[in-house]
Amino acid sequence: MHRLRLHLRSIVATCNAIQRHGCEITLIGRRREVSHRNLLRALSVTACVHEETRPTALRRRKPKSQNQLTVQHFVDIKQVKTIGGNGGDGQISFLRLWVNDRAGPDGGDGGNGGHVIFEASSNVKDLKHVQPIITAKDGENGLGDECFGKNAPHNTVQVPIGTIVRHVDGKIVADLDRPGMMFIAARGGAGGHGNAFFKSNVNQSPEISEYGAIGESLQYVVEVRSMAHIGLIGLPNAGKSTLLRAISRARPKIAAYPFTTLKPHIGMIEYDDYEQVAVADMPGLIENSHKNKGLGITFLKHAERCAALVFIVDVTLDEPWEALEILRYEINQFNEKLNDRPQLVVANKMDLPDAERNLQLLKKNVDLPIIPISAKVGTNVSALLKEIRILYDNLKGDETKKSTDNFS
Ligand SMILES: Nc1nc2c(ncn2[C@@H]2O[C@H](COP(=O)(O)OP(=O)(O)OP(=O)(O)O)[C@@H](O)[C@H]2O)c(=O)[nH]1
Ligand SMILES: [Mg+2]
């Protein structure tokens, strides 16, 4: 670093000299000719090395579509019925040749039915595409001339990495936490044997064959364990959806009445180093949600699936810290472990009167870092994006540490 700094200083001095004397100059220390362009290039490279780099969020350049049909919410839990394909039936058939019209049994076996499989994949982010009833195809029946029926292909349904599959009684049967991991949800039935299979010394012309087995039919609850890196949590009307709209391309509905958002929406913040941070806008939380009031437990389950929590507080309320206390209390009552997650407070609606005074009071009453913004007008949103990136980097750092600890 010291050497680089010296180098930079000498280049700056040389540049000054260039300005004074013209385009060509000899560097005394190195004793060689340096062109004006090379010198400037070296200067910019050295300057880049020294600059403090922190990724900045890319803001959208083109307007969002007005087509309401494209508004999509995040589906993080689904109950599905999976039905494996039936096996094909075995065939009863006897071969007749012109020289021998009793040439023996030649009924082929049926093909196997397909399985229904869940596979963890990074190509999908939620369970929107998962149908409530998932079936696999049946195997083909066997034919004469010892032709076997074709096995049916498996029906593989892609699910996000980190999906949990439970039986309807609540027991976890699969945790698909690595890409490519598979779980056979319903096995297809095996194909039945044709009569050629049953030929033996004691029975040369069996007139029996098997039906294909029936595929399994099972019900599961499929659940995405991690929904987003950051979850926006706040009382109804705090401005969560307005903020998500401001920082991402997601388009949750915004309105001045409570419970506008009933299902979570996910938006991606893109940074200039190609990192993407997923932010979830959640339905409003109210007092006694942990006792299933309002959207209740469903809401809190969404919060459980976010790695870090950002509390949105409306600073135009008379005592905004009370709102924050309610939020933290409800989350604590539902799951104490949520308190250990990284947290941040966003004081929203700073463009309105009285906001500044309430913000000062909020700062006095709260021990968490507070970022004042106006989601509607866009004030200070870039500072919030930087803070979110810091939260995300810390989360990522913790994850890598955990995985190296497990490895060693
Ligand atoms: N003046 C001002 N109004 C805001 C700001 N942020 C949100 N609002 C308004 O507050 C109202 C509620 O905003 P939403 O984004 O729908 O609030 P929410 O937290 O998503 O509400 P629910 O989905 O019902 O929980 C809307 O009328 C917004 O225009 C802000 O920064 N300044
Ligand atoms: Mg909303």
Which ligand is in closest contact with the Cα of 234? 1
Give residue-wise pLDDT tens across range 364-381.
888 888 999 999 998 999
Does 235 sit in the ligand 1 pocket, CB within 6 Å?
no
Of the candidates 278, 344, 353, 354, which has an alpha carbon nearest to the alpha carbon of residue 313? Answer: 344
State the closest ligand 1 atom to the C-alpha of 238, by its place in the atom list counted from 1: 19
Q: Is the pTM value of this prediction over 0.85? A: no
Does 258 sit in the ligand 1 pocket, CB within 6 Å?
yes
Whole-number Å distance, alpha carbon 275 to ligand 1 midpoint, is 28
Protein residue whose Cα sits closest to atom 21 of ligand 1: 237
Strands 228-234 and 155-160: unpaired
Whole-number Å distance, alpha carbon 263 to ligand 2 midpoint, is 9
Does 242 sit in the ligand 1 pocket, CB within 6 Å?
yes
Sign of the CA dihedral with 314 first, then 318, 321, and 327 last: negative
**CA 160/CA 266 separation, integer angstroms:** 14
Whole-number Å distance, alpha carbon 260 to ligand 1 midpoint, is 10
**Residue predicted with more confidence, 56 or 49:** 56
CATH topology of domain 228-403: Rossmann fold (3.40.50)
Q: Which one-letter DSSP state was computed for residue 171?
A: -
Does 376 sit in the ligand 1 pocket, CB within 6 Å?
yes
Give residue-wise pLDDT tens across range 54-95.
788 877 666 766 665 555 677 878 999 999 999 999 999 999
**CA 78/CA 372 separation, integer angstroms:** 37
Protein residue whose Cα sits closest to atom 32 of ligand 1: 349
Give residue-wise pLDDT tens across range 183-211.
999 999 999 999 999 999 999 989 999 99
Does 342 sit in the ligand 1 pocket, CB within 6 Å?
no
Enumerate the domain spans of the chain. 77-224, 228-403
Give me the architecture of the 77-224 domain, per CATH.
Answer: Distorted Sandwich (2.70)
Above 90 in pLDDT, residue 290?
no
